[in-house]
């Protein structure tokens, strides 16, 4: 979350997914205002976690789609453009998850 915050990601949320789904323990959801910012957030997360030896198991989406998913196993990070975040409404879709942290 600090890596996303470092690149001024908007509305960063961490959801506790335990008991709600079987494929992840946590979701981190954040937004970027521009494609350049979304790319910067993604790169910063990669760099910070990479220094700790943590690499994504899978990555989906791209800057042009407005949604990048970084799957680190127990933690899945969603980086959205504002329009796509509003459209997919993951926080509402996973409303049974417990919000742990929100940085606005």
| pLDDT tens column, 36-89 | 999 999 999 999 999 999 999 999 999 899 999 999 999 999 999 999 999 999
Q: What is the Cα–Cα distance from 30 to 37, expressed in whole angstroms?
A: 11
The pTM of this model reads 0.93
Look at residue 86 in the predicted model and tell me its pLDDT: 95
Query: Into how many domains does the chain fold?
Result: 1
What CATH number did the domain enclosing 31 receive?
Answer: 3.30.460.10
Confidence class for position 25, pLDDT limits 50, 70, 90:
very high
Distance CA 5, CA 16 (A): 19
Neighbouring-strand partners of residue 69: 60, 78
User: Domain span at residue 82?
Assistant: 2-103
Cβ neighbours around 49 below 10 Å, total: 17
């Amino acid at each position: 979350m600090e890596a996303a915050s470092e690149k001024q990601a908007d509305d960063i949320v961490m959801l506790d997914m335990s008991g709600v789904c079987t494929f992840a323990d946590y979701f981190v959801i954040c937004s970027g205002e521009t494609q350049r910012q979304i790319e910067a957030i993604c790169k910063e997360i990669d760099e910070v976690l990479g220094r700790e030896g943590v690499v994504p198991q899978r990555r989906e989406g791209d800057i042009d789609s407005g949604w990048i998913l970084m799957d680190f196993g127990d933690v899945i990070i969603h980086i959205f453009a504002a329009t796509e975040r509003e459209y997919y409404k993951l926080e509402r879709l996973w409303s049974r998850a417990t919000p742990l942290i929100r940085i606005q």
